[in-house]
Structure 1
Amino acid sequence: MMPAVRSACRLAAFAVFLMFPGLTAALAQEAWIQVEARSDQRLAEERAFAFATSFTETRGFRLPSGWYAIVLGPYDADEAAQILASLKSRRLIPSDSYITDGREFREPFWPKEGGAAPVAAAEPAAADVAEPADEPVSDPAVIDETPAEARATEAALTTDEKKELQSALSWFGFYQGGIDGAFGPGTRTAMAAWQTAFGLEPSGVLTTRQRATLVASHQAEIAEYGFALVEEQESGIDVTLPLALVEFDRYEPPFVHFREKNGSGLSVVLISQPGDAGSLAGLYEILTTLDAMPQTGERKAGESEFRIRGRSADRDSQAWARLSDGLIKGWMVFSSPEHAERDARIAEVIETSFRAVGDTALDPGLVPLDEAARRGLVAGLEVKKPLTGRSGFYVGADGAVLTTSDAVAECGRITIDHTTEASVAAQSEGFALLKPASPLAPPAVAAFAESAARPGSAIALAGYPYEGRLPAPVLTHGTFEEAGGLNGEPGLLRLSLDTRPGDAGGPVLDAAGGVIGMLLPAVEGGAQQLPAGVTFAADTARIAAFLGAGGVSPRTTGAAPALPPETLTRQATGMTVLVSCWE
């Protein structure tokens, strides 16, 4: 939930409304943009002078609190909202500047009486903004309601008006309950917290003036962001988006892109596609490898839903999707840390308002998919690729993986099967033992054959020869030739097997499903060129010694009859994983 109070200036903004009744009507007539407030008049005059060099309509007024407000205006209320958004988008005024009706203004301190204001270098508003009036309007203060009167006026509120108050409390971070129009303990606590934050008696019952303050402030921010319901019929999604900050860009199934607007630094992508649990898992894998999705952040994936958060020094991104009735619907928000508070609010509105509508998903025929593939893009989003992809296999029930040391050399990060972060727990003698960041439940765990394979016997290698380009391991069949290297080196198995670099680290199995070795990388750059199909694996004795030193007790299996091909395939592929090395 967002912070309840953003700044001292925001406190002053609420104080504006608390001083006087009839706020909503006043905002409709005249408005000012307060850009700063200072507790010292000399400093306030210096800041007013600085603003006046750019804005001729800079004014300064003492506030009832004793602070000094620096403001621009006055403007018509509708024009003020446009000017505020324009100046903020161009970063000409502070990001927490806000609109006020000026009723709390007391005697002016800027421009100085008898003094000349500096010449402004630029106009803040568009050419069609009306010329502002010369002087602000000041109304006398009035007495607020008694507690009994506040309860009486609250009782007369409609359900919709009560929901509006709950929505405003939620927007400013005071309320986390449902928007149901029922003022229970949660709402009362939120009202008291709001009152406390602004120096008011925390009665838990808002007066008419306080309610007007809260609602008007909420509406002002909603107007600033331009929130509006978007009924996206092509994708079957209804969602509220900040249309002052984003605008529709294009369809690229399964995504609907909304690009940044007015330099907001924000973009939104809707997700819509038919699919099943496998499709959802595949989408999750793709989104976690986007350039726009930093690798640092929370990740949570289930059978029917996932959530991704990525944070870095210059990016703040998040994604969510859910599978329901054969359709995958969701959203992504891409932003930067400098707008973290603003965009946290926006993401909350998107998530709260998001609705999957009907049985429609985005039609893949809207855009030729081969063109996206040719550009190396996934629906217009650039995918980050690993440096290398090698094979490995489960050697522990907790998800520990054995692979080659080459597979993890000079990696910034390591993943198992695309999504699971892993670290190197032990490494030596050409082996690497990987531990997942969180425990896994492997479909199968390697059981090492106790008896030696006979020369000429059939073997099978499970691996990722194409380094992850295929979604599942490939089983390659070959022959066990002999124990030892070509010069009789111990700890090696010579195989007759066609392999590719991505196969290295994969398990070599006998016909009964027992693991007899781990495929080693091909030796390159030697003086001799070996015939095609000559490969080598580390034998079980070497593997057992390494695993034992790393604290893993390998499983073993005795002599057994040959497995049916489909059973061997299921067992071999169930224990085999893709080990990806990233920058």
Structure 2
Amino acid sequence: MAVRFFLAIWVALTVLVLPAETRAQTGDQVWIQVEALPTLAEGEDRARAYATAFPDVVGHRLRSGWYGILLGPYSREQAALRLSSLIADRMIPADSYLNDGATFAESFWPVGLATPEATEGEPAAAQSEVDEPELLQPENPGLPLLPDETVEEARDSEKLLERPAREALQTALQWFGHYDSSIDGAFGPGTRESMAAWQTTMGYDPTGILTTAQRGELLTAYNDALAKLGLEKVTEAESGIEVTLPMALIQFDHYEPPFVHYAEKDGSGLRVILISQPGDQSSLNALYDTLQTLSVIPSDGPRERLERSFTISGSAPGQEAYAYAALSGGLIKGYLLVWDPAKVADMQRVKAAVQTSFKPVGDRALDPGLVPMEDAQRRGLMAGLEIRRPKLSRSGFFVDGQGAVVTTVQAVEQCSRITLDMETEATVAATDATLGLAVLKPAKALSPRAVGVFGATARVGAEVALSGYSYEDQLPAPTLTFGTLEDVKGLDGQANLNRLAIEALPGDAGGPVLDQAGAVLGVMLPRAEGGTRQLPSSVQHIAAGSALAGLLTQAGVVPPAAEAGGALPPEDLSRKALGMTVLVSCWE
């Protein structure tokens, strides 16, 4: 009774003290908003359903772009009492609230109802002619929808809330960054603190108990924020994934197993890719490695690989990415978010919505035969995505037990970063411009399968073996190429060079050249380009191993001592040569 009397007094005083112009604008009419739907068709369906139970159902498109279902209009006193009564009787959703009509655009239910924004003599715009709404933050209507309540009155009105309404408030508080615990409908100390934090942000007294008007304001702001992003639950039947996606920012594009592509909408700067494939632990590990080679995932950022799942974060100027995948029941499901941080201001909220809602459903994965693709498209599970490639790749080889590598200067010039075998970061420890060689050290110590041991100069005419990544990063392992030592000096008499008769490719530069005992004779140098002399393709030069002592000392590397021994069986020579060879990649 006290609350009702207070409401009546407040309404009377409001009408008396407001200027006539303001009273004419706001009036004494309010509506009970029971639902808001993202599309006109859904709005009409719900309005039709409510109309079977209530005689005063109206529908208006809201400034947020959604379609509101409302009851009314009523006086403010009537609306407040009817709202409490209908919620208590569970006739309307527990998170229903009062709306003074300030956010109404044209009406859509009943057909022909006048539109508040239409001027006299001018009909409301037809739906097909209405521009896409500008999505704004909720405006301050000038008056609260309900009078301010005392703490005791707010606590009393709060007691009428059912669990769904309480959970809705926690969800809204969580959305705005004030609440980080479970959504359970229990208003404990954590929820009270979050309510007080929200009140402080909005300029209210931080009591930790929201009044009816404050609850309505919080939920309105939350619903408007959802409408701005267009968050919708998407059930992707083909891939067996259920997830909430920001459909105002993205749109379905195409299937390319194992990916479901959602492209950016209207230049939003956001892409979403769902991942769905059958597989086991090795498949999950392969996917983890593969995703990191994609150009859409920047190389800088934390990675975490657990036994049955992984996450990958990438950050670079103008682009960020986040990937997640998990293995369960022989199926791998996950997602990849790629966005421009300058365009997607609410990305943390989008990311949180995707993370909390993502759920594999059913027992199916995306059918590899859903769309026709050539085998080349399927290779590496990278259909439809560009692989991030280095500027160039050359060969190198390990020269100590911690992973120091000798390679050519050509392989490390003008690089923003250098990697060993596409994964391990490395830095230049020393260079020798005369020899054209460099020594690299890995960011973390490695355990090479084999280490190059420098031996005595072989006799002219002896067979030698070159180990290198002839085709750069196109093949997953180095290859062996055999040739002959033609001279222990260069064509112009250089003492620090040896001349070979061997067919080598650009990717072989930096690779070790071994004798039949497995000792390193020298380092393959890039073939000289240009000039007036065109040498036969089989004429190649190596930097003699005996000339590397100073460079290794400068880099602080102590190579293993030479070992005496005879010729190795072919399989042992191959194992040793390939085990010491490493792919050196230069990235822009």
Q: TM-score, normalised by structure 1?
A: 0.69
Q: Secondary structure at the match of 1:581?
A: strand
Give, in whole Å, the separation in 1 of the partners of 2:158 and 2:66: 35
Q: 1:162 to 1:467 in 2, by over 3 A?
A: same
Structure 2 contact 258–381 (Cα < 8 Å) conserved: no
Out of 228, 232, 238, the residue aligned to residue 234 of structure 1 is 238
Q: 1:45-70 CA distances to partner (integer Å, 9 max, x unpaired)?
A: xxxxxxxxxxxxxxxxxxxxxxxxxx
Q: Which moved more, 1:570-579 or 1:246-255?
A: 570-579
Instruction: Report 1:424-463 matches (<5 A).
Output: 424-429=428-433, 430-436=436-442, 438-444=443-449, 446-453=451-458, 455=460, 458-463=463-468
2:527 is paired with a residue of what secondary structure?
coil
**How large is the Cα RMSD of the aligned pairs?**
4.3
Q: Max radius of gyration: which structure?
A: 2
Q: Corresponding residue for 2:374? A: 370
Q: Give 1:388's match in structure 2, choosing from 392, 398, 412.
A: 392
Separation (CA, whole Å) in 2 of partners of 1:126 and 1:578? 60
2:268–2:344 CA contact under 8 A, matched in 1: no
Seen in structure 2, the aligned counterparts of structure 1 residues 390 and 100 have a Cα distance that, compared at 3 Å, is: farther
CA shift for structure 1 position 189: 3.6
Q: State which of 343, 346, 349 in structure 2 corresponds to 1:345.
A: 349
Unpaired runs of 5+ residues, structure 1, are 1-21, 30-74, 85-98, 106-116, 118-122, 130-135
Q: Equivalent residue for 1:18?
A: none
Question: Residue 510 of structure 2 is aligned with which of 505, 510, 513?
Answer: 505
* Residue 559 of structure 2 corresponds to residue 554 of structure 1: yes
User: Alignment partner of 1:535: what SS?
Assistant: strand
8 Å contact from structure 1 (residues 389, 578) kept in 2? yes
Native 8 Å contact 1:501 1:521 kept in 2 = yes
Mark the runs of 5 or more structure 2 residues left unpaired by the alignment: 1-28, 37-57, 68-96, 104-118, 120-124, 132-140
Report the Cα distance in structure 1 between the residues aligned to 2:159 and 2:570, rounded to whole angstroms.
75
Contact 1:272 1:327 in 2 (8 A): yes
Correspondence for 1:167 among 143, 166, 171? 171
Change (3 A) 1:398 1:239: farther
Alignment partners' CA distance in 1, 2:312 and 2:144:
51
CA distance in 1, matches of 2:313, 2:30: 42
- Residues 76, 252 of structure 1: alpha-carbon distance in 2 compared, 3 angstrom cutoff: same
Residue 41 of structure 2 corresponds to residue 25 of structure 1:
no
2:414 to 398, 410, 413: 410
Does the residue aligned with 1:194 lie in a helix, a strand or coil? helix
Q: What SS class does the counterpart of residue 381 from structure 1 fall into?
A: coil
**1:275 positional shift:** 4.7
Check if 1:576 corresponds to 2:581: yes
The 8 Å contact of residues 103 and 139 in structure 1, kept in 2 or not, is answered as no
Q: How does 1:203-242 map to 2 (within 5 A)?
A: 203-242=207-246
User: Which residue pairs with 2:129 in the alignment?
Assistant: 127
Task: Decide which of 61, 65, 68 is 1:78's aligned counterpart.
Answer: 61
Task: Specify the alignment match of 2:470 in structure 1.
Answer: 465
Q: Which structure 2 residues correspond to residues 308-319 of structure 1 after superposition, within 5 A?
A: 308-313=313-318, 315-319=319-323
Figure out how many residues of one structure are paired with residues of the other and give that number: 480
Give the Å deviation of 1:533.
3.5
Give me the identity figure in percent: 46
- Structure 1 distance, partners of 2:167, 2:129, is 39
The 1:419–1:155 alpha-carbon spacing in structure 2 relative to 1, beyond 3 Å, is: farther
Between 381-390 and 237-246, report the one with greater CA deviation. Answer: 381-390
Change (3 A) 1:257 1:532: same
Matches within 5 A, 1:57-68: none
The structural deviation recorded for 1:342 is 1.6
Please report how far the alpha carbon of residue 581 of structure 1 lies from its aligned counterpart in structure 2 after TM superposition. Answer: 2.8
Scaled by the length of structure 2, what TM-score is found?
Answer: 0.68
The letter for the 1-side match of 2:63 is A
1:141 and 1:222 map into 2 onto residues whose CA distance is: 24
Deviation (angstroms), 1:155: 6.0
Partner residue in 2 for 1:535: 540
Pairing of 1:101-250 with structure 2 (within 5 A): 101=99, 127=129, 142-146=147-151, 148=152, 150=154, 158-183=162-187, 185-250=189-254
Which residue identity is paired with 2:301? E
Deviation at 1:213, TM superposition (A): 3.1
The residue identity in structure 2 corresponding to 1:468 is D
C-alpha separation between the residues in 2 aligned to 1:579 and 1:23?
Answer: 71
Change (3 A) 1:221 1:360: same
Question: Corresponding residue for 1:15?
Answer: none
Aligned residues of 1:462 and 1:506 also touching (Cα < 8 A): yes
Q: Relative to structure 1, is the Cα distance of residues 505 and 287 closer, same or farther in structure 2, using a 3 angstrom cutoff?
A: same
Q: Find the aligned partners of 2:581 and 2:177 in 1 and give their Cα distance.
A: 47
Describe the shift of the 1:468–1:225 C-alpha distance in structure 2 as closer, same or farther (beyond 3 A). same
C-alpha deviation, 1:276, in angstroms? 5.7
Say if 1:446 and 1:514, in contact at 8 Å, map to a contact too: no
User: Corresponding residue for 1:251?
Assistant: 255
Match of 1:300 in 2: 303
Cα 1:176/1:274, change in 2 over 3 Å: same
Distance 1:142 1:466 in 2: 76
| 1:249-297 superposed Cα distances (whole Å, 9 cap, x missing partner) | 11112211112335534321112234566655665565455554455x4
Measure, in 1, the Cα distance between the counterparts of 2:286 and 2:253. 25
Query: Does the CA contact (< 8 Å) of 2:242 and 2:360 recur in 1?
Result: yes
What is aligned with 2:530? 525
Which amino acid in 1 is paired with 2:65? Q
Q: Partners in 2 of 1:272 and 1:366 — Cα distance?
A: 12
Cα distance, 1:156–1:487 mapped onto 2, change above 3 Å: same
Deviations 1:55-98 (A, max 9, x none): xxxxxxxxxxxxxxxxxxxx9653423289xxxxxxxxxxxxxx
Contact 2:243 2:358 in 1 (8 A): yes
Question: Given the superposition, is the C-alpha separation of residues 124 and 160 from structure 1 closer, same or farther in structure 2, using an over 3 Å criterion?
Answer: same
Write the letter of the residue equivalent to 2:341: P
